[in-house]
Structure 1
Amino acid sequence: MELNQALNHAVAAHQAGNLVAAERGYRQVLKAIPNQPVALNLLGLIAISQGKNARAVQLLQKAIVAKPDFADAFNHLGVAQRKLAQHERAVKSFSRAVALDPALTEAHNNLGNVHKDLLAFEAAAQCYQRAIALEGKNFEPHYNLGNVLRELERLEPARQSYRNALALNPNHIEARFNLAALLERSHDLPGAMEAVEEVLSRAPGMAGALVLKAKILRRGKQETEAAAVLEGVDAASLAPEDGVSVCFEMGRIYDALGRPEQAFAHFARGNQMQKSAASKEVMREARRFRQGIEETLEQLLPGIADNWQNIGASDRQDPVFLIGFPRSGTTLLDQVLDAHPLIQVMEERPVVPRLVKNLGSSGKPLPNDYAHLTGEEAELLRAEYFEQASRHLELKEGSLLVDKMPLNILYVPLIVRLFSDARFIFALRHPADVVLSNFMQLYRLNGAMANFLELESAADTYCAIMELWKKCRTALPVRVHTIRYEGLVTDLEEEVRPLLEFLDVDWSDAVLDPTGHARVRDGINTPSYEQVAEPVYLKSRYRWRQYRNELAPVLGRLEPWAERLGYSLNDGF
């Protein structure tokens, strides 16, 4: 049999799903011509399908050596590298594939996938959009675009992408579920209920859909009906992520029903399940997070700023930084401020943490090292800050930028060093309420949030971060205005007027309707999106008193901070 005929037979077997015959045929070709690029490429593709990704990389690299302009081989090489978690190499391979063949839809889509892995959501969205422009009736890039637009909190375009995907594949359950979840997140509860019922009609036992239905009922003040949806669900029998979601939603339902003992038990169980399922790397990050606080505390001595050389000021208006311990009311305050026509709030984007990461690679990650920052280095870091911010927010001329990231409290020394005119808004709330609220919150785990899986570690983290803030106030020239959550929900105008004066911004009645602003804002990048879309209410104020028995193990640790901050553990004030 001629080699071309043998290759054609192997390709036909491959297309028919007969991988054994296809592999045998490709090897027959390669025995005669060891560097035949098509056979190497397709044999590499079979290796990928078998999970032999390292072998696939070897075969595909040989194909590329034999044919350097082989776009398909670069595309398949990127797939194997991505499966091996070699993401940067995969980006190069996919990029080379689309450079060689700009019409290769699959490569654009694959490049989007690896950008998504790297959390480069903007770049991923652009890749998916190029794939759609090339092949508009391909389901996958529409679905993938919906996923990254959701991450970017562009909720309306994300909803449309899912609808486009479902028009091409009406039976795709995940696309239907994601659309239902987005409708709930957009506060369209009737639309969300209709969509989730459609999901459950197709997949009756889907745990995520049951949790979403219960959440919609709870948000609609139908707590008893919400509990009935989940009471028969055995969380322990589910995949860890689903089981955790069931526990937390049941906890919220029982909290809304005024049954704190049952609510706390569900939150505790959910946290324990999440801790058991957490990767070792996440738990190592949690330890490193605490160690980072301790190292910063050791260096924050009075007079530390006296050794800082003059590095000049920014040539732009310095941002305002909205900080505080998580769950201290920063999201409500975010909506208040963003409603003002002259203020733009950047919502929980890790712009400052990225600067710190870059400093770490240059050997200057801690306060003592900031003395050695040069004016040129500082200007580059400030430029990087605004460049990163512009990726998340269209910065308007004349607007005041408020960077809302509660845990930027960890980076106050760097912020003060880089932005000499920076102002801080510090959100404060009763320590027991804050610790309880974090314990009751289902977070996407990282090094910081993993510290809230247990009540004791949550309390210890609170004490450490508040000690850090106290030292920042003592050691650094911090310009700050403190906002108490309790005052914010009791008398919004009385609390906000002095804040706007601190920010040198004229009064606007628009700030008095944070709920209305939250409902029209395209996305709220925080777990608090539910609460801020509801009318300001007092239920969360001193909620800890309902959980006094459950909080007993940590109240002793929190009492000194409660007294220092003007609160009490006796009467809740």
Structure 2
Amino acid sequence: MQAGNTLDNQLSAAVEVFESGELKQALQMAQELCQRNPGVSIVHNVHGVIAAEQGEIQAAIDSYQTAIALDPGNSDIHFNLGNALRAKGDVQAALTSYRAALELKPNDPDFLFSVATVLRGEGEFNEAEKLFQHLLKLSPDDHTAHNGLGWVLLVAGRADDAINCFRHAVKLQPDFAKGHDNLCEALEKTNQTDELKKAVAYARSVFRLDNIWLAVRQAQVLRRDNELEEALKALSSVVRFNPAQAQLNSTYWYLLGDINDRLGNLQAAYEAFATANNWAAKTAKGRRVEAHKYIQRLDDLQTAYKGVRRMASDNSTSQRGAPQLVFLIGFPRSGTTLLDTVLLSHSKISVAEEKPMVLDMLRLVRTWQPDQFHNHEQLTDEQVSELRDAYMTSLKQHMGDQPIAGQVVVDKVPLNITNVGLISKVFPDARFLLVLRHPCDCVLSCFMQEFGLNDAMANFLDLKSAARCYDKVMSLWTTYREALPLRLHTVKYEQVVADLEATVSQVLEFLGLDWEDAMADYKSTALERQRIGTPSYHQVVQPLYSRAKGRWQRYRAQMKPVLPVLRRWVEMHGYPVDDDNR
């Protein structure tokens, strides 16, 4: 290669070629510089930048790590390494590198933003909020920082504060598409329909409707008004799907599937849902999740609990003024959100919706029993007490202003059905509300639903894996029922829809409470909630409807391959079995 008389000139030449877009030539130049100057950190850093742009992420990581070994106090190289690790999908390692950069330059806006963004993605909302707040003190007119803080607040359940952040972001930068989109997202998920319409109208005055995110928001508004043909028309304006926007593409196709389903265009709906799931698998989370690990966990737990016959405990763990804990469980899309919203309308019931108290207990157990699945019978009294304290500490943190003392507290995480062994060991006085829905409707609805992906939800990206997951979950539940003395009441979604008051009255009797008239107006409760943290947010403010009951029958042709797996549970849960259900 042609080189100048100094290393600086040679580096400048490589960078100039890089900036001109000749990536392969620039990469070759940088590689030759690394070979001739192995002890110069900046050379390896430049090679890493060019390699990353070329898509050679591992080569970039190797170069950055070499550069850091030579110059550990260079914050920019730590930051570059964080970017490369994040691109690779190694989020925790990326976070470590970002933190190292931030420690060296604690007031660098780029470092603050990146660390806060990764923390937000990892669910570390308190720390992310602090960093965004710090960033805004340094850069109060940074519209991206207002937007980032808004998303943290929205996920944390502080919807009004989040909406204010998004509004401020688009005020600072009117053509900031992400700010507009997040504002619409917050208004949609908090069921503020009138404000959503205003936000979409404003966005339409700034952007073209063929922007995919705007087409989605316009279609959501039209769906709420039941203008389904117009919603379909709005979505049809989109003709290009950027592979780099897999999450947004996925959302588009889920919405298109739902609208076609409502219109009775069944094959088009099914194909749209399948396309949505394919895009979901291509998102950053979709590439990281491992559905088979969740299935293996269920198998391991079932093996661990086979043969267990735990005796009922005579020792109460409840303390004076402590809440009565009720765990609302079931398979996803069984109707748990509807039931918890109705129960929240009761003056003596508080609801913790999709909060990680049980997950916090599981993390603590793994520090004692790493890489193994046990039936929890060997937990000592001291360990059980520590787990109970960890749960209650987490509960108080996540309940916010909701009262706890003396209340019935409903902990609603449907898939805690798989953690009943641990829950009942720690809280032998706890009650369990199991919500069932026809297995075929349940599995089909999971396939059709846009979930935040993790190892469990990744099983819903195709019908066969969704049916297998249902079978594994219910098999484990059957093992728990044989092994454990549970205080249990079972509710069927179809019964709630058919006769709300009678069905919920039976639930209240199980909880030792009486019916309150306010419970019939559960839609008002839903509208008052800051954010319904489940995919059912737009359904629980609608009148009770039977559209989804028996939906699977309309998709019998598509469901046929999984019916043999589900037939066993159709029978066991007491649903009618027809001859074709095999």
Aligned partner of 1:481 in structure 2 is: 489
Task: Note if 1:260 corresponds to 2:280.
Answer: no
Percent sequence identity is: 33
Contact 2:209 2:237 in 1 (8 A): no
1:293-324: CA deviation from partner (whole Å, max 9, x where unpaired): 22222232344425x99998365445211000
> 2: CA distance between counterparts of 1:564 and 1:271?
30
Task: Note if 1:177 corresponds to 2:181.
Answer: yes
Contact 1:309 1:371 in 2 (8 A): no
> 2: CA distance between counterparts of 1:75 and 1:237?
27
Task: Note if 1:396 corresponds to 2:400.
Answer: no
Query: Offset of 1:259 from its aligned partner?
Result: 3.1
Query: Offset of 1:560 from its aligned partner?
Result: 2.8
Closer/same/farther in 2, CA of residues 226 and 278 from structure 1, 3 Å limit: same
Task: Note if 1:380 corresponds to 2:386.
Answer: yes
Task: Note if 1:424 corresponds to 2:432.
Answer: yes
- Which residue of 205, 213, 217 maps to 2:218? 213
Query: Offset of 1:483 from its aligned partner?
Result: 1.2
C-alpha RMSD of matched pairs (Å)? 4.1
> 2: CA distance between counterparts of 1:246 and 1:528?
17
Query: Offset of 1:391 from its aligned partner?
Result: 3.3
1:436-489: CA deviation from partner (whole Å, max 9, x where unpaired): 211211223221122222222222222222222122111101111111111111
1:11-63: CA deviation from partner (whole Å, max 9, x where unpaired): xxxxxxx999xxxxxxxxxxxxx99xxxx899969966884565456556766
Closer/same/farther in 2, CA of residues 523 and 41 from structure 1, 3 Å limit: farther
> 2: CA distance between counterparts of 1:501 and 1:430?
24
Unmatched segments (≥5 aa) in structure 2? 1-17, 21-38, 53-59
- State the AA in 2 paired with 1:348: E
Query: Offset of 1:179 from its aligned partner?
Result: 1.0
- State the AA in 2 paired with 1:120: E
Closer/same/farther in 2, CA of residues 184 and 504 from structure 1, 3 Å limit: same
Aligned partner of 1:492 in structure 2 is: 500
1:56-102: CA deviation from partner (whole Å, max 9, x where unpaired): 5655676665xxxx988987887777667676576667667777877
Query: Offset of 1:546 from its aligned partner?
Result: 2.6
- State the AA in 2 paired with 1:383: D
- Which residue of 563, 568, 575 maps to 1:560? 568
Task: Note if 1:448 corresponds to 2:456.
Answer: yes
Contact 2:301 2:375 in 1 (8 A): no
Task: Note if 1:409 corresponds to 2:417.
Answer: yes
For residues 170-569 of structure 1, the aligned pairs below 5 Å read 170-200=174-204, 201-231=206-236, 233-234=238-239, 239-275=245-281, 282=288, 285-305=290-310, 313=317, 315=319, 316-317=322-323, 319-363=325-369, 368-394=374-400, 396-398=403-405, 399-569=407-577
Contact 1:149 1:157 in 2 (8 A): yes
1:508-544: CA deviation from partner (whole Å, max 9, x where unpaired): 2222222111111110110111101212222222222
Unmatched segments (≥5 aa) in structure 1? 1-17, 21-33
> 1: CA distance between counterparts of 2:114 and 2:449?
34
> 1: CA distance between counterparts of 2:155 and 2:540?
19
- Secondary structure, in 3 states, of the residue corresponding to 1:341? coil
Contact 1:357 1:365 in 2 (8 A): no
Closer/same/farther in 2, CA of residues 111 and 240 from structure 1, 3 Å limit: closer
1:186-245: CA deviation from partner (whole Å, max 9, x where unpaired): 223343233234434424422122122112211210001111122354477765434433
Q: Tell me the TM-score normalized by structure 1.
A: 0.82
Aligned partner of 2:158 in structure 1 is: 154
- Secondary structure, in 3 states, of the residue corresponding to 2:435? strand
- State the AA in 2 paired with 1:298: T
- Secondary structure, in 3 states, of the residue corresponding to 1:356? helix
- Secondary structure, in 3 states, of the residue corresponding to 1:538? coil
> 1: CA distance between counterparts of 2:266 and 2:287?
33
- State the AA in 2 paired with 1:226: A
Contact 2:326 2:431 in 1 (8 A): yes
